[in-house]
């Protein structure tokens, strides 16, 4: 394969999840439904936290930011996929591909960091309940969210700028339904050593780091819960972090599942199918996990709808 001149490189081809024509209407309906459910569910979470003054607490402040990140995360990939299916075109421009990749990395990293911040919030609430309002003051909460945005943005920009330095070959087909960083790098004809190192370093920083932080927080939480004498007290303490623990487990398990699938099969289409779990299913399920297990969210949503009637 010969390198493509940078001035001639204008577009990539997204192969999607399936090339079977008869499956396209089904995929369009399925992903449109999942996208609408995700956006609506997360918007309702944001609406509930804004409209109910009882939810103006650090936990729900972080939750509303997570919901916003989830909306943006799924919106970087699914709308373009739906347009490609509807127009029967798999083309994405070079600029569009880099932009999509940049925002996907941004909001994926932001999700990971916000989940870590929420784990720290639960640690303070359960292990230091008397000092919770002092420690988790509005200034610290704002700084934690701002730091999460800045770290995720710096990582996204650095990864995207490193891709811009690459020269690509004439084979510009991406066996995925969006411009995934690893897939794009592997299409390059030039040396990708620095890109690979940067990608692995970022994975360790934004995946391994948060995972260690979450595990440390929950090890302290479990120790504190075990020290509670009454069964009712243990249940109440655990229920405050059950939703977050469920979301973290879903996020980590789906991400690990995609990695193991791609490593075991070396099949790009299998990896693309598996990645649906963390790119689409996780943001869609998060609102259900928080609303179904959270009486405060349910009450706030009921009050919001009653107020509009």
pLDDT digits (tens, 9 = 90+) for 158-178: 999 999 999 887 778 898 899
Q: Are strands 11-14 and 91-93 parallel, antiparallel or unpaired?
A: antiparallel
Burial zone of 8 (CB within 10 Å; 0-12 exposed, 13-18 middle, 19+ buried): exposed
Lowest mean per-residue pLDDT among 47-56, 67-76, 254-263: 254-263
pLDDT of residue 1: 44
Angle at 54 between CA 49 and CA 56, to 5 degrees: 50
CATH topology for 11-298? Rhopdopsin 7-helix transmembrane proteins (1.20.1070)
Is the pLDDT assigned to residue 5 strictly greater than 50? no
Close Cβ partners of 265 (under 8 Å, ≥ 6 residues apart): 271
Contacts 24+ apart (CB under 8 A), 250-258: 250/282, 250/285, 250/286, 250/289, 251/111, 251/112, 251/115, 251/278, 251/282, 252/211, 254/278, 254/281, 254/282, 255/207
| Residue pair 150/243 in contact by the 8 Å Cβ criterion | no
Is the pLDDT assigned to residue 64 strictly greater than 80? yes
pLDDT of residue 207: 84
Confidence of residue 204 (pLDDT cuts 50, 70, 90): confident
Is the pLDDT assigned to residue 6 strictly greater than 80? no
pLDDT of residue 259: 67
- How many C-beta neighbours within 10 Å does residue 69 have? 26
pLDDT of residue 266: 57
* Cα separation, 183 vs 92, whole angstroms: 14
Is the pLDDT assigned to residue 125 strictly greater than 50? yes
Confidence of residue 7 (pLDDT cuts 50, 70, 90): very low
Tell me the average pLDDT across 21-38. Answer: 94
Is the pLDDT assigned to residue 17 strictly greater than 90? no
Is the pLDDT assigned to residue 257 strictly greater than 60? yes
**Which residue ranges make up each domain of the chain?**
11-298
Is the pLDDT assigned to residue 63 strictly greater than 90? yes
The highest-confidence range among 134-138, 187-191, 221-225, by mean pLDDT, is: 134-138
pLDDT of residue 37: 96
Tell me the average pLDDT across 62-67. Answer: 95
pLDDT of residue 262: 61
- What is the DSSP secondary-structure string of the chain? -PBPPTTT--EEEE--S---GGGHHHHHHHHHHHHHHHHHHHHHHHHHHHH-GGG-SHHHHHHHHHHHHHHHHHHTTHHHHHHHHHHT--EEEHHHHHHHHHHHHHHHHHHHHHHHHHHHHHHHHHHSGGGHHHHT-HHHHHHHHHHHHHHHHHHHHHHHHHHHT--BBS--EESSSS--HHHHHTTBSS--HHHHHHHHHHHIIIIIHHHHHHHHHHHHHHHHHHH--SHHHHHHHHHHHHHHHHHHHHHHHHHHHHHHHHHHH--HHHHHHHHHIIIIIHHHHHHHHHHHT-HHHHHHHHHHHHHH-
pLDDT of residue 245: 87
* Cα separation, 87 vs 217, whole angstroms: 48
Query: Residue 135's closest CA among 126, 213, 242?
Result: 126
What is the rounded average pLDDT for all residues in the chain?
87
Confidence of residue 308 (pLDDT cuts 50, 70, 90): low
pLDDT of residue 4: 45
More confident site: 265 or 154:
154
pLDDT of residue 290: 83
More confident site: 242 or 5:
242
In terms of pTM, does the model score above 0.85?
yes
Query: pLDDT, tens digit, for every residue of 263-301?
Result: 555 566 667 777 888 889 889 998 888 876 677 787 877
Lowest mean per-residue pLDDT among 78-82, 124-128, 264-268: 264-268
pLDDT of residue 250: 84
Tell me the average pLDDT across 22-46. Answer: 95
- How many C-beta neighbours within 10 Å does residue 78 have? 23
């Amino acid at each position: 394969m010969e390198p493509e001149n940078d001035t001639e490189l204008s577009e990539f081809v997204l192969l999607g999840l399936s090339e079977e024509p008869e499956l396209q209407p089904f995929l369009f309906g399925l992903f449109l439904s999942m996208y609408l459910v995700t956006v609506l569910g997360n918007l309702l979470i944001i609406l509930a936290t804004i409209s109910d003054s009882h939810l103006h607490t650090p936990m729900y402040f972080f939750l509303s930011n997570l919901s916003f990140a989830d909306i943006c995360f799924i919106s970087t990939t699914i709308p373009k996929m739906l347009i490609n299916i509807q127009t029967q075109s798999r083309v994405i421009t070079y600029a569009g591909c880099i932009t999509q990749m940049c925002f996907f990395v941004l909001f994926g990293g932001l999700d990971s960091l916000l989940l870590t911040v929420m784990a720290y919030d639960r640690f303070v609430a359960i292990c230091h309940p008397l000092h919770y309002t002092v420690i988790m003051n509005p200034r610290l909460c704002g700084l934690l969210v701002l730091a999460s945005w800045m770290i995720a943005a710096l990582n996204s920009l650095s990864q995207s700028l490193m891709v811009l330095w690459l020269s690509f070959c004439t084979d510009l087909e991406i066996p995925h339904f969006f411009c995934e960083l690893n897939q794009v790098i592997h299409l390059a004809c030039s040396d990708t050593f620095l890109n690979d190192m940067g990608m692995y370093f970022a994975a360790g920083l934004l995946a391994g780091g948060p995972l260690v932080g979450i595990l440390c927080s929950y090890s302290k939480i479990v120790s504190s819960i075990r020290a509670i004498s009454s069964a009712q007290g243990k249940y109440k303490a655990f229920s405050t972090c059950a939703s977050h623990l469920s979301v973290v487990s879903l996020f980590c398990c789906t991400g690990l599942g995609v990695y193991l699938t791609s490593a075991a099969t070396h099949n790009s289409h299998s990896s693309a199918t598996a990645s649906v779990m963390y790119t689409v299913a996780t943001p869609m399920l998060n609102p259900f996990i928080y609303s179904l297990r959270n009486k405060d969210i349910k009450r706030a949503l009921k009050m919001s709808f009653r107020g509009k009637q």
